[in-house]
Chain A
């Protein structure tokens, strides 16, 4: 019987694929056991390890949150609205008074204020800002979650690679793995905070479940002693993955968290889902999207943002602190992003409409240089006047911060597909 050197520890599993993969890159050749590798001698391996530790929580502000009531206030301007700007813990950076908690944590956060993405349509804008590019005929690009799942996921992972929460019905967009295929499609939660189909059937108890697995394993080993089969390995991997993902059901259960942690995140849906996201990334899930719909304040913009921004502020601050206290903030990037921002102009219903010409997003932790602002809008917030950023540049920046080469190619058939639009470069000044 072959000896298994693998101790079964999650920490060691994290590095196992990297060892095998990086060893191949280093020209050492694939190995089936760890004893033949001198992993620490390979610099690409160290870089790969670093990359593989990064994870992302995307707070998707569906419907388009107003940059003027969050990251790029213009108090006193005719477009500014009633809310004032407050100083942050970074001298010279001010944000909306609706975000007092994040104002104390700007040292962890980078704001991009110069987004000009030109698409003010919910559907088109969402596609653009979840992929970093527009689809083209014959090519369906994967979204950010699928790419991160592909780059950071582990073949033997016992947790999902990509999880998305979108509980509201308005503007709901599914995760999309595009040409990367179903392997990198997300686990989608659209009702409730727990996956629907992970539970064992009621008629199968835990002992049955384990004994079925043991029986399948026995048959699999018997078969492999007498036959050579590529499919068998793939089947085994799939079953292990399914069993692992079934076991990850507890990650979605916030009753497992101490009450004081739950109280910190608060009782709102966003708070609870952000807490689950923390549990997931802590367990190694590379990408979690938590959608907070629906910000489309064509009427009563100030009332809507007065209600919703404090929730976002509190949850984001709590999540930032929680990750920091667990030693995870350097490895987990929190992104706030939407399909677009909102018009500087205020309509008769005291609303703001769609606006993609000068808006904002934020990145916290995970390889980003905190305490920075990139991009500047004019005094009314009507246009970008310095350091304009498009979707491609933004995604190049995110990938780069995560340790993913934004210029690498995927392949659709024989056709190389660069990860970001050709010519797009990351914003080097914000990549830590």
Chain B
């Protein structure tokens, strides 16, 4: 696996909109973006001029894109999931998937399932080909302890596809059997949720990213630390790692040079490092050694990062974020 200190920016592309979600066709330079202009677009990283082509649109922000084979599935604040045939460039179906805003869409490693999470506080598992709903996972409260609406921010599959993890605003993280939809375990990361009852009477934060270690033993959870002035994302980026079966925290990382929220996490395929990306007013990348319980590298990103794709060989990293797409290489 390439080492984090070999990270190097290759190219930077300006975008007129905020890119919230990115997917990359395997062994390809084609990427798919879901953005704040409501569009799902496709672009070629090797093009002389990076000008993604709009494929179709949702009725609001597109917050999740996932590839299941040659099928792209996107989700957005319109509550819909759209299936798109990337080979033949045509729509397959659009489903009224959730009653509220879709926050994330992921594909199972074998490409047979799609998982979506939304602010109806449900995780739904779909047949990637037929588009049929298979399971509805209910494990997150609709309201916070102070009676306000909550949000269900993120979902991830384990590398072997056996498990799913979902995480919400108040720091409640649930691990599921991905085949049966049964709840297996849960852990809590309440530090990532700040409720201010005294000065401002609202909250900020929440768990925004989850990632399983390659052996599925650990679950990394990303967000931000406790915030004093919740008008801003002013706390340091924060990652906690759990032995989710033992319900025990095994590592905690506070990135002293990185302010903001960790929107995306992924382990290297050999587990030697964990990458987190996010931002506040600016963006960051954080490489962590979970076994060694130390931060390996913190790097300023060209923008607040909302998502990234990391190649299987971890030699190519593409970031999607606020008005930019940035391409890095490692190794």
Chain B residues, Cβ within 8 Å of A76: 38
Task: Please judge, given known A-B contacts A84-B78, A169-B198, A348-B304, whether A307 and B60 are in contact too, CB under 8 Å.
Answer: no
Whether the Cβ atoms of B280 and A349 lie closer than 8 Å is yes
How far does the alpha carbon of A310 sit from the alpha carbon of B282 in the complex, in Å? 30
Whether the Cβ atoms of B37 and A348 lie closer than 8 Å is no
Whether the Cβ atoms of A349 and B281 lie closer than 8 Å is yes
Chain A residues, Cβ within 8 Å of B16: 78
The residue that A306 contacts in the complex, of B36, B151, B283, with Cβ under 8 A, is B151
Task: Please judge, given known A-B contacts A83-B60, A349-B260, whether A304 and B232 are in contact too, CB under 8 Å.
Answer: no
Closest chain A CB from B170 CB (angstroms):
12
The residue that B281 contacts in the complex, of A266, A304, A347, with Cβ under 8 A, is A347
How far does the alpha carbon of A420 sit from the alpha carbon of B61 in the complex, in Å? 44
Query: How many of A's residues come within 8 Å of B, CB to CB?
Result: 37
How far does the alpha carbon of A248 sit from the alpha carbon of B146 in the complex, in Å? 29
Task: Please judge, given known A-B contacts A82-B61, A83-B77, whether A267 and B147 are in contact too, CB under 8 Å.
Answer: yes
Chain B residues, Cβ within 8 Å of A168: 198-201
Whether the Cβ atoms of B38 and A293 lie closer than 8 Å is no
The residue that B203 contacts in the complex, of A307, A310, A311, with Cβ under 8 A, is A307
**B interface, size bucket:** 35 or more
Interface string of A262-295 (1 = CB under 8 A from B): 0000111100000000000000000000001110
How far does the alpha carbon of A303 sit from the alpha carbon of B193 in the complex, in Å? 12
**CB-CB nearest in chain B for A347:** B281
Chain B residues, Cβ within 8 Å of A297: 231
Whether the Cβ atoms of A294 and B78 lie closer than 8 Å is no
Chain A residues, Cβ within 8 Å of B201: 167-168, 269, 292-294
Decide if B172 is an interface residue (CB 8 Å cutoff). no
Decide if B202 is an interface residue (CB 8 Å cutoff). yes
How far does the alpha carbon of A301 sit from the alpha carbon of B282 in the complex, in Å? 16
Decide if A170 is an interface residue (CB 8 Å cutoff). yes
Decide if B295 is an interface residue (CB 8 Å cutoff). no
Whether the Cβ atoms of A299 and B204 lie closer than 8 Å is yes
The residue that A348 contacts in the complex, of B119, B148, B203, B282, with Cβ under 8 A, is B282
**CB-CB nearest in chain B for A294:** B200
How far does the alpha carbon of A293 sit from the alpha carbon of B230 in the complex, in Å? 12
Chain A residues, Cβ within 8 Å of B9: none
How far does the alpha carbon of A83 sit from the alpha carbon of B60 in the complex, in Å? 7
Chain A residues, Cβ within 8 Å of B60: 75, 82-84
Whether the Cβ atoms of A78 and B200 lie closer than 8 Å is no
Closest chain A CB from B186 CB (angstroms):
23
Chain A residues, Cβ within 8 Å of B38: 76
Whether the Cβ atoms of B151 and A294 lie closer than 8 Å is no
Decide if A346 is an interface residue (CB 8 Å cutoff). yes
Whether the Cβ atoms of A268 and B147 lie closer than 8 Å is yes
How far does the alpha carbon of A425 sit from the alpha carbon of B127 in the complex, in Å? 63
Closest chain B CB from A257 CB (angstroms):
18
Whether the Cβ atoms of B199 and A304 lie closer than 8 Å is no
Closest chain A CB from B232 CB (angstroms):
4
Decide if B303 is an interface residue (CB 8 Å cutoff). yes
Closest chain B CB from A170 CB (angstroms):
4
Closest chain A CB from B98 CB (angstroms):
14
Whether the Cβ atoms of A82 and B280 lie closer than 8 Å is no
Closest chain B CB from A178 CB (angstroms):
27
Decide if B176 is an interface residue (CB 8 Å cutoff). no
**CB-CB nearest in chain B for A296:** B231
**CB-CB nearest in chain B for A170:** B199
Decide if B139 is an interface residue (CB 8 Å cutoff). no
Which residues between 276 and 331 of chain B lie within 8 Å of chain A, taking CB atoms? 279-283, 303-304, 322
Closest chain A CB from B21 CB (angstroms):
13
Closest chain B CB from A136 CB (angstroms):
31
**CB-CB nearest in chain A for B279:** A348
The residue that A349 contacts in the complex, of B36, B148, B233, with Cβ under 8 A, is B233
How far does the alpha carbon of A168 sit from the alpha carbon of B59 in the complex, in Å? 37
How far does the alpha carbon of A349 sit from the alpha carbon of B282 in the complex, in Å? 8
Whether the Cβ atoms of A348 and B322 lie closer than 8 Å is yes
**CB-CB nearest in chain A for B303:** A348
How far does the alpha carbon of A300 sit from the alpha carbon of B224 in the complex, in Å? 13
Decide if B216 is an interface residue (CB 8 Å cutoff). no
How far does the alpha carbon of A167 sit from the alpha carbon of B198 in the complex, in Å? 8
Closest chain B CB from A254 CB (angstroms):
15
Decide if B101 is an interface residue (CB 8 Å cutoff). yes
Whether the Cβ atoms of A82 and B231 lie closer than 8 Å is no
Decide if A298 is an interface residue (CB 8 Å cutoff). yes
Task: Please judge, given known A-B contacts A268-B148, A303-B151, A348-B322, whether A294 and B202 are in contact too, CB under 8 Å.
Answer: yes
How far does the alpha carbon of A300 sit from the alpha carbon of B281 in the complex, in Å? 11
Q: Which 9 A-B pairs have the closest CB atoms?
A: A294-B200, A82-B61, A82-B77, A170-B199, A299-B232, A299-B233, A348-B304, A296-B231, A169-B199
Q: Can you offer 11 A-B residue contacts whose CB atoms are under 8 A? A: A83-B60, A83-B77, A168-B201, A294-B200, A299-B232, A300-B233, A307-B149, A311-B148, A349-B233, A349-B260, A350-B304
Given contacts A78-B16, A294-B202, 6 further A-B contacts (CB under 8 A): A83-B77, A294-B199, A294-B231, A298-B231, A300-B233, A303-B206
